[in-house]
Amino acid sequence: MARRDRSLVRASDLAAWTYCHRAWWLAHVRGAPHERPEQLSRGQDRHRAHGRSVQSAHRLQQAGRLLLVAGGLLLALAALARLGG
């Protein structure tokens, strides 16, 4: 298991420590290999994919807000042009 930033406490680390202190210590302090590395790898891949989906949704939400504001400004300008014209 690769070393991680020690200042970052992850929810999965808390769950692992709560479930079994010894297993957490073996994995994070001693660097013992995981019992089922293929299952661990699949879980990590799924978490990365989920993270990418969340980031993509956040970017789309920001773009939607920007388009909403731009549409409101265009509508206001059109109303002003109609009143002034």
pTM of the model: 0.57
Q: Are 24 and 16 in contact (CB under 8 A)?
A: yes
Q: Are 1 and 34 in contact (CB under 8 A)?
A: yes
In the chain, what are the domain boundaries? 11-84
| pLDDT one-digit tens code per residue, 68-78 | 999 999 999 99
- Radius of gyration of the chain from Cα atoms? 24
| pLDDT one-digit tens code per residue, 33-45 | 888 889 888 988 9
